[in-house]
Every structure is written in structure tokens, then in C-alpha cells.
Amino acid sequence: MRERADGTWSLDETDLEALEIGSGILGTGGGGNPYIGKLRAREVLRAGYDLRIQPLDQLADDAQVVPIGGIGAPLVSFERIKEGREGLRSLRALEQRLGFTADAVGCEEIGGQNSMEPLVTGALAGLAVVDGDGMGRAFPEMQMTSYAIYGHQTTPSVMCDPHGNVVIFDHAISEKWHEIMARACVVAQGGASVMASAPMSGAFMKRYAIPHTYTQAIELGHAVIEARRAHADPIAAICEREGGNHLFSGKIVDLKRHFKGGFNVGVAQIEGVEGWSRSKAEIVIQNEFLIFSRDGEVEVCVPDLVVVLDLDSGLPLTTEVLRYGQRVAVLALPSHPLLRTNDALDVIGPAAFGHPEIVFQPIPTKEAAQ
């Protein structure tokens, strides 16, 4: 990243390569395939636009920040190419509806392709993207952001599809109702669209965004690239950098996955290899990897991060590219403290995904482990 005279940072193609990897790791299998997002962002960069990151602490308190994110099923976004300006159309329609001009673009979730979507929109609009997001990972539903959890009302919002359709959600009585209506709309639009939500103030974002996640993802990606270049262990590099644990290595022996209600849902069964050869594991999927169990015992669950990597390369795998017979490594990374409060757990804890029998047991943060 290169610092500019205005205090923002410009990204180049090497940063995009790193962001692809880092956002894939933090995306816990979801957020859309980061490779597709990288290709789109790279084409915007090669067309002469600037991809810029705005440091969170330099954001003005009265700045108007518009969160941008893709909505739909990762499998659809992987198979159906976007037109490219869905985010820009959403932003401009929201500005027109509310009669304001955005000062910066925000990121809904740093995971996967959704790390790239704000960069593309920001570049086309001539705006920087704030160095933070609403999840520090990826979650499958719109109300599952720190923004919404701590009081941001996301309507009015605008959703656009590749065909040029523009849908405005004027008011929702709750964030969950906004999700329900938007999910029905995205199914009608083909399963993958882009949304701009109501603007937040800079002061609100500095308090409730998961901070510095763009720089975190880019630096994490560079650490993996350097480990691979030095013929070191990228899995160990990830765990050391993020305070994570290598939970399991194995081979996928069964995979149930289908498209339901706008989501990819399913279960992956993994048979252990190497030091885990006597154990079996299971991962529950809803766009992301939600719950990891070994030999019938839950070890990690949302909001902490369950990360699946290719065992041989150490590169992240998203839910839509999992295949029978793949050799995988499963990691656990700690979530940000903003995601571990009682208010947050009501929205993003295991009960919110239909598992009230599971009690969230946080894995130690890097600071606590030290």
C-alpha cells in the first residue's frame, strides 16, 4: 500500500493478491469467492481508477459513510458474472433518494468478494473505502453486522442487479425484516445482487466498526505469500499472526450442500489424517462455516471464525468450491470483542442459526493467550 498526500492509501495489484487471500481466510468460507472479486477490482485498477483505503481514525465525525455489500448466495456469485456497476448504481440511487453526497464508502463484511465490492464502487465513485467493516469475517444475513447490532438503521437502502433493476427499501420495522425482504428480492433477481445501506456518521463508524480489517486482511495475505515463497508453513504463519489454532486436518468424505432461501446450506464430513487419523469432524454451513465439531463435540462456533484451508497449499477455501476428497486443514480464529457481547450473541451466536443447544465458548484472543 502506498500512502497518498491526502492520508489515504492506494492499493496496487500485489495488494489485491494479498487481499484475495486474507479476505478468504477471514471470510470463513463466505462473502463470495474472493478470486472473482479480485479479477473485477484488478480490471478497475487497470482501467485507471484508484483503489483507496481511508484510515479509520482519520475519518471525520460528520462524514457520511455508505456501506456497500453483495447479497445472495456465494455459489451464484461464483457462477454468474456481475455487470460491474451494481454498487455504483446503488450508491447513486441512495444519494438521490436521501438528498446527500457520500464522503466515503463502508464495507459490510471483510470476508471474500465482499472485501472487493466496496473497493470497486469506491473507485468508480472517486471515494475511499474506510479501513474497517461490520463483521471482521463474513455472516450470511444483513442484520448480522456490528453496525446494526449497535443501533444503525440500514433503511432506506437500495439493491441493484446485473440487469439494471433498482429496488429501494424505504423503511423496515426491524433489521431482521430488512433481511427478510431483501432476501426475497435477491432471489427474484437471480440470487446475487449488490446493496447500499443508509449512511452512517464517521463518529458512529469509529465506535462500532470492526477496526482496521482491510489492513489486517492485506497483511495476513502478504504473510501467507511470504511463507509460501520461503517454503515455510503458511498454516502456522496464519495461526501465529491471528492468534489462531490448527484444529484438524482431514479429507472430505461427505458433502451435503444445497441452495435454500437465498443461502448455500449444508454439512461437510471430514475424516482425519496425519495426527488426527483416529477422529472425524463435521462443519455446519450457511454460506459460511458456522460450527466445527470433532467426534460429536462442538469445539468452535460463531461468532468465532472456523476457517478451512487447502491442506497442501495453505490457501483458503470457500464453501462453494468444497469437493469430495479434498484434503483440508481447519483453523479457529478469535472474533473481535464487539462480536462477543450479549447484544451481539443474540444476533450472531449459535442460537441465531437454529442451534440454541450450543453455548458459545470463546477461544482466547491473541492478547489473552500472551
Q: Mind listing the pLDDT tens digit of every residue in the chain (370 residues)?
A: 888 888 899 999 999 999 999 999 999 998 888 998 999 999 999 999 999 999 999 999 999 999 999 987 666 766 777 788 999 999 999 999 999 999 999 999 999 999 999 999 999 999 999 999 999 999 989 999 999 999 999 999 999 999 999 999 999 999 999 999 999 999 898 878 999 999 999 999 999 999 999 999 999 999 999 999 999 999 999 999 999 999 999 999 999 987 666 677 899 999 999 999 999 999 999 889 999 999 999 999 999 999 999 999 999 999 888 999 999 999 999 999 999 999 999 999 999 999 999 999 999 876 544 4
Q: Which of 198, 213, 228 is the last residue of a domain?
A: 213
**Closest C-alpha among 3, 4, 33, 7 to residue 21:** 33
Are residues 346 and 306 located together in one domain of the fold? Answer: yes
Query: What residue numbers bound the domain in which 347 lies?
Result: 240-369
Phi (first) and psi of residue 9, to 5 degrees: -115, 135
Q: Do 32 and 156 belong to one domain?
A: yes
150 and 255 housed in the same domain:
no
Domain shared by 104 and 37, yes or no: yes
DSSP state of 245: E
The answer to whether residue 181 sits within a structural domain is: yes
Domain containing residue 279: CATH number? 2.40.390
Say if 117 falls within a structural domain: yes
Residues 19 and 161 in one domain: yes
Torsion angle, alpha carbons of 221, 227, 230, 231, to 10: -130
Residue 227 located in a structural domain: no
- Counting other chains too, the contacts that 233-241 makes at CB distance below 8 Å and 24 or more residues apart are 233/314, 234/309, 234/313, 234/314, 234/315, 235/309, 235/314, 235/329, 235/331, 237/314, 238/25, 238/307, 238/309, 238/314, 238/331, 238/333, 239/331
Of 213, 248, 269, which marks where a domain is finished? 213
d(CA 66, CA 43) in angstroms, rounded, equals 23
The CATH number of residue 202's host domain is 3.40.1610.10
Whether residues 15 and 128 share a domain: the answer is: yes
Does 130 share its domain with 248? Answer: no
Based on the fold, state whether residues 112 and 177 are members of the same structural domain. Answer: yes
Confirm whether 332 is domain-assigned: yes
In a shared domain, residues 190 and 294 = no
User: How many domains are contained in the chain?
Assistant: 2
For residue 233, being part of any structural domain is answered with no
Indicate whether 221 belongs to any domain.
Answer: no
> Do 99 and 92 touch, CB atoms closer than 8 A?
no
Question: Where is 370: in which H helix or E strand?
Answer: none
Eight-state DSSP code of residue 46? H
Same domain, 104 and 249: no
3-state percent helix, strand, coil for the chain, nearest multiple of 5: 35, 25, 35
Contact 268, 252 (CB under 8 A): yes
- Residue 225 covered by a domain: no
Same domain, 149 and 80: yes
The DSSP element (H or E) to which 357 belongs, if any, is none
> Residue 175 falls within a domain, yes or no?
yes
Nearest alpha carbon to residue 95 among 64, 116, 133? 64
Q: Kindly state whether residues 206 and 268 are assigned to the same domain.
A: no
- The C-alpha atoms of residue 121 and residue 172 are separated, in whole angstroms, by 25
Helix, strand, or coil here: 168?
strand
